């Protein structure tokens, strides 16, 4: 086995031992399962690049040199063929897609296998730390590996085989890969979307360029980041973007178009077919976060007198990309919804049976287009539905359906929003574990840093001894501020503002003030007990205790004011939620801690300064 890093820069010698250049790159034939090295690229005198056939001219090679079979005068130079790539130029230090692990990785080295004295084949890409160490120095790599092994932590190779690699950093559309080479085309759209989200922004468009319109549409619909999706569409050619949007389900396309600026959105819509444009514009007419905005206009509705055979014939005529049909909706003479028949019931019924005889006797569960999307999603989950029809309140006609996958997306979005408001995180990848741990520490122990800041301010204002003694009580106020934010966010997440059973804001204010007063009363009782214990202490100790008690009195004031302000935090959360703006629980904590420190320091200075003066 040999690595590309061990070959690059090695001298190239002809049959007479004359040095004619240094190894610059290797060309491979991509159509093979384990590609054979077909070309040697080397740099000659004056840094002139040359390329020759590996099979025809290379006699031997090792980690120190490459020796040719002919004298320099007998060499005939060649060119890179259409099905070849240069592995140092096109793979090394580039991002690739690991289609087996479904992730994006960076190539640190390339592993080669010698099948004879002169033949080389590419086995795969080294994407681990060993490739980085080897590029620095093979000796350094060996030293690190031995040291790590001595400490009981081996550093394994991380090799991705060629047949699980997909190239994304260069246009290789003309390269014919072997049938066994799995590409992005073979992956599920959700896996393609995950890969795209891991890529550098400059490479995302190149991935979409490898997909046809239908595949690009499916992958785009799976992207979780709306801003990223809008940016990708914004960078696409108008015709390509319009075709892709036409391939998407109307609800997914409407959501994406809604993220674009007005001029761009209008331009793309005008390029679409009339039917696709009408369906998307209809959905864009509804408010954000409503059932109308997330419903799809693709559903099957028939008159209730229709027979099983007739509806089966109609369903066979539906296009392949039609929204999956789980229910057939029945309408009366005025086209109002009057029943629902599950598709599975059609398969066990006689062809001449009328659908009205198959409809359930239960009331049909429906939603109105202006209903909150979260309420609709919860109803779909509650009643185990695969779809819920959205019905016009006045006419009773079916406008569209909200499918279970859309409901799951809504519930996931709401869950992530709740986590952000509560100060949590939605998810994190393995590569983000360390930074996630740091952020959790900062979020959970943030009060400690504000305590240090308060101690510094008081030490400067009152002197080191007095300032530190007073600041000793600051954690009481700071922890109370953190708990107040948790109390507010939990109340906000539990009770909807429009819920009739939800406590009113004045009721919430009374409860929060009562909590603050109770907290303050407990602190005061502890202070009173401490004052009684040390009332007969020596003069020096009594002065320290006096300063400490003034600090606790300042913390009491900060606690009360913190909880008095709790209703304001609740109102801010609700107003921002109505405006569709996200609110970070971490930001709320910072604001609450800043106010607590300001009140604590201000009251402490007011209590202690006159005594010192």
Secondary structure of residue 506 in the 3-state scheme? helix
Average pLDDT for residues 489-516, to the nearest whole number? 80
Give the model confidence (pLDDT) of 545-565 as tens digits: 677 788 888 888 999 999 999
Q: What would the mean pLDDT of 567-571 be, rounded to a whole number?
A: 89
- Across the range 434-440, mean pLDDT stands at 48
The average pLDDT across 322-349 equals 89
Q: Is residue 475 part of a domain?
A: yes
Number of alpha carbons in the 13 Å side-chain half-sphere of residue 151: 7
**What per-residue confidence (pLDDT) applies to 417?**
65
For residues 183-208, one letter each, b for 16 or more C-beta atoms within 10 angstroms of the residue's C-beta and e for the rest, the string is ebeebebebbbbbbbbbeeebbbebb
pLDDT of residue 428: 43
Residues 130 and 23 in one domain: yes
195: pLDDT strictly greater than 80: no
Domain count, the chain: 4
Higher pLDDT, 486 or 160: 486
Q: CA separation (Å) from 234 to 10, 165, 240, 378, 513?
A: 46, 28, 11, 34, 50
Do 467 and 404 fall into the same domain? no
pLDDT of residue 3: 85
Burial zone of 610 (CB within 10 Å; 0-12 exposed, 13-18 middle, 19+ buried): exposed
Residue 140 vs residue 294, higher pLDDT: 294
User: Does one domain contain both 194 and 101?
Assistant: no
Q: Highest-confidence range of 59-63, 103-107, 341-345, by mean pLDDT?
A: 341-345
- The reported pLDDT for the residue numbered 186 is 61
**Does the residue 354 lie in any domain?**
yes
Q: Are residues 14 and 138 in the same domain?
A: yes
In a domain, 292, yes or no: no
Same domain for 159 and 23, yes or no, is yes
CATH number of the domain within which 271 lies: 1.25.60.10
CA-wise closest residue to 476 among 585, 553, 587, 533? 553
- For 139-143, 245-249, 415-419, 599-603, which range has the lowest pLDDT when averaged over its residues? 415-419
Q: Are residues 276 and 304 in the same domain?
A: no
Terminal C-alpha separation, the chain: 81
Which among 333, 472, 358, 492 has a CA at the least distance from the CA of 423? 492
Mean pLDDT for the chain? 80
Question: Does 501 or 320 have the greater pLDDT score?
Answer: 320
pLDDT reading at 330 higher than 60:
yes
Kindly state the percentage of the chain with pLDDT values over 70: 81
Pair (369, 254) in one structural domain = no
- The answer for 105, left when phi > 0, alpha when psi is -120 to 50, beta otherwise, is beta
Residues 6+ apart with CB under 8 A from 333: 303
d(CA 58, CA 39): 9
Phi, psi of 605 (to 5 degrees): -65, -40
In a domain, 157, yes or no: yes
Closest CA to 256 of 222, 287, 290: 222
Bin 17: left if φ > 0, else alpha if -120 < ψ < 50, else beta: left
Under DSSP, is residue 323 helix (H, G, I), strand (E, B) or coil? coil
Look at residue 179 and tell me if it is in a domain. Answer: no
Shared domain check, 308 and 229: no
At 174 the pLDDT is: 34
Instruction: Return the pLDDT at 218.
Output: 85
Domain boundary among 416, 432, 456: 416
For 198, the token pair is 């891991």
306: pLDDT strictly greater than 80: yes
Q: In CATH, what number is assigned to the domain containing residue 397? A: 3.10.580.10
- Tally the residues of the chain: 613
Verify that 305 and 261 share a domain, yes or no.
Answer: no
Confidence of residue 352 (pLDDT cuts 50, 70, 90): very high
| pLDDT of 523 higher than 50 | yes
Same domain, 380 and 458: no
In the predicted structure, residue 434 carries a pLDDT above the cut 50: no
Find the domain containing 381 and state its range: 300-416
Residue 38 belongs to some domain of the structure: yes
Tell me the average pLDDT across 405-418: 78
Could you say which of 285, 311, 334 is where a domain stops? 285
The 3-state secondary structure of 218-281, one letter per residue? HHHHHCCCHHHHHHHHHHCCHHHHHHHHHHCCHHHHHHHHCCCCHHHHHHHHHHCCHHHHHHHH
Q: How confident is the model at residue 432 (pLDDT cuts 50, 70, 90)?
A: very low
d(CA 516, CA 480): 8
340 lies in the same domain as 399:
yes
| pLDDT tens for each residue of 73-112 | 888 888 887 778 888 888 888 776 665 555 667 788 888 8
594 confidence band (pLDDT: 50, 70, 90): very high
Alpha-carbon distance of 400 to 237, in angstroms, equals 31
Same domain, 391 and 530: no
Q: Which residue among 136, 167, 198 closes a domain? A: 167
State mean pLDDT over 408-423: 70
Residue 173 pLDDT level (bands cut at 50, 70, 90): very low
What confidence category does residue 398 fall into, taking pLDDT thresholds of 50, 70 and 90? very high
Amino acid 298: pLDDT: 87
Dist CA 605 CA 502 (whole Å): 41
Residue 606 lies inside a defined structural domain of this protein = yes
pLDDT, greater one: 174 or 79: 79
- How far apart CA 256 and CA 402 sit, in angstroms, is 17
Q: What percent of the chain is modeled with pLDDT above 90?
A: 16
How far is it, in rounded angstroms, from Cα 534 to Cα 356? 87
CA dist list (Å): 466 to 174, 457, 475, 515, 605? 77, 11, 17, 30, 11
| pLDDT value of position 341 | 92
Q: Flag whether 421 is in a domain.
A: no
Condensed to tens digits (0 to 9), the pLDDT of residues 24-46 reads 999 888 776 678 888 999 988 88
């Amino acid at each position: 086995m040999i690595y590309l890093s061990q070959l690059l820069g090695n001298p190239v010698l002809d049959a007479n031992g004359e040095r004619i250049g240094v190894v610059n790159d290797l060309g491979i034939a991509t159509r093979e399962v384990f590609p054979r090295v077909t070309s040697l690229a080397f740099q000659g005198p004056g840094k002139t690049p040359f390329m020759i056939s590996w099979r025809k001219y290379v006699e031997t090679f090792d980690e120190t040199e490459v020796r040719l079979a002919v004298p320099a005068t007998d060499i005939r130079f060649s060119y890179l063929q259409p099905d070849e790539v240069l592995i140092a130029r096109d793979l090394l230090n580039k991002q690739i897609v690991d289609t087996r692990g479904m992730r994006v990785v960076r190539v640190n080295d390339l592993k080669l296998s010698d099948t004879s004295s002169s033949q080389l084949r590419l086995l795969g890409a080294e994407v681990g730390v060993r490739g980085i160490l080897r590029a620095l120095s093979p000796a350094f790599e060996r030293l690190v590996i031995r040291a790590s092994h001595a400490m009981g932590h081996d550093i394994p190779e991380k090799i991705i085989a060629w047949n699980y690699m997909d190239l994304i950093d260069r246009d290789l559309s003309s390269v014919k890969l072997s049938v066994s080479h799995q590409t992005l085309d073979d992956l599920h759209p959700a896996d393609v979307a995950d890969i795209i989200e891991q890529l550098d922004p400059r490479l995302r468009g190149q991935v979409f360029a490898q997909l046809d319109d239908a595949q690009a549409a499916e992958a785009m619909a799976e992207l979780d980041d709306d801003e990223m999706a809008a940016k990708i569409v914004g960078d696409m050619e108008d015709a390509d973007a319009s075709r892709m949007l036409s391939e998407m389900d109307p609800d997914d396309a409407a959501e994406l178009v809604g993220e674009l600026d007005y001029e761009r959105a209008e331009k793309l819509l005008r390029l679409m077919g009339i039917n696709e444009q009408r369906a998307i514009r209809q959905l864009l007419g509804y408010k954000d976060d409503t059932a109308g905005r997330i419903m799809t206009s693709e559903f099957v509705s028939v008159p209730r007198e229709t027979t099983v055979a007739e509806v089966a014939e109609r369903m066979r005529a539906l296009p392949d990309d039609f929204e999956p049909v789980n229910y057939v909706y029945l309408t009366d003479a005025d086209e109002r919804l009057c029943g629902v028949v599950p598709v599975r019931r059609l398969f066990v019924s006689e062809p001449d049976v009328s659908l009205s005889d198959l409809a359930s006797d239960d009331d049909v569960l429906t939603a109105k287009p202006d209903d909150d999307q979260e309420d609709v999603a919860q109803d779909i989950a509650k009643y185990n539905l695969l779809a819920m029809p959205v019905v016009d309140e006045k006419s009773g006609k079916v406008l569209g359906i909200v499918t279970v996958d859309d409901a799951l997306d809504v519930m996931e979005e709401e869950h992530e929003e709740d986590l952000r408001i509560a100060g949590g995180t939605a998810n994190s990848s393995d590569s983000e574990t360390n930074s996630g741990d740091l952020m959790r520490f900062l979020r959970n122990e943030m009060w400690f840093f504000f305590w240090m800041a308060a101690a510094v301010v008081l030490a400067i204002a009152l002197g080191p001894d007095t300032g530190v003694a007073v600041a000793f009580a600051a954690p009481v106020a700071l922890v109370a501020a953190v708990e107040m934010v948790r109390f507010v966010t939990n109340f906000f997440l539990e009770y909807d503002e429009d819920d009739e059973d939800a406590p009113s804001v004045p009721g919430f204010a009374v409860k929060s003030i009562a909590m603050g007063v109770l907290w303050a009363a407990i602190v005061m009782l502890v202070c009173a007990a401490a004052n009684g214990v040390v009332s007969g202490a020596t003069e020096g100790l009594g002065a320290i205790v006096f300063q400490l008690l003034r600090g606790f009195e300042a913390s009491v004031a900060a606690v009360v004011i913190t909880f008095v302000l709790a209703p304001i935090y609740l109102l801010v959360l609700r107003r921002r939620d109505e405006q569709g703006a996200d609110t970070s629980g971490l930001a709320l904590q910072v604001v609450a801690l800043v106010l607590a420190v300001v009140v604590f320091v201000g009251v402490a200075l007011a209590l202690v300064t006159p005594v010192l003066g």
